[in-house]
């Protein structure tokens, strides 16, 4: 698979570890791909689930802040 000319390439940088010419370079590409897929799967598995609005601890009531003062009065008071 590596062919006759597989050992004569002088790679530098990331190409030294991730290349298509040597068996070790191919293995490193496969391992990096598997690690990426596993990382994405773990991220979505461990991500917090969305809870319904009624179960949230920081639930805010929709009740308006200002309410009419009482029976028939037109002024508004703050609660």
Instruction: Kindly list the distances between the CA atom of residue 37 and the CA atoms of 2, 29, 33, 43, 46, in Å, as whole numbers in the listed order.
Output: 26, 12, 6, 10, 14
Instruction: Kindly list the distances between the CA atom of residue 46 and the CA atoms of 34, 37, 49, 52, 69, in Å, as whole numbers in the listed order.
Output: 18, 14, 9, 18, 49
Q: How far, in Å, CA of 29 to CA of 19, rounded?
A: 7
| Residue 23 DSSP label | H
- Tell me: the pLDDT tens digits for 2-51? 555 555 678 899 899 999 999 999 999 999 999 999 999 999 999 988 87
pTM for the whole structure? 0.52
- Tell me: the pLDDT tens digits for 51-63? 776 665 555 556 5
Q: How far, in Å, CA of 25 to CA of 12, rounded?
A: 12
């Amino acid at each position: 698979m590596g062919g006759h000319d597989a050992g004569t390439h002088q790679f530098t940088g990331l190409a030294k570890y991730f290349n298509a010419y040597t068996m070790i370079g191919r293995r490193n590409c496969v391992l990096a791909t598997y690690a990426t897929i596993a990382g994405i799967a773990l991220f979505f598995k461990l991500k917090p689930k969305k809870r319904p609005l009624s179960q949230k601890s920081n639930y805010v009531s929709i009740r308006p802040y200002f309410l009419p003062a009482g029976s028939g009065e037109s002024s508004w008071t703050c609660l």
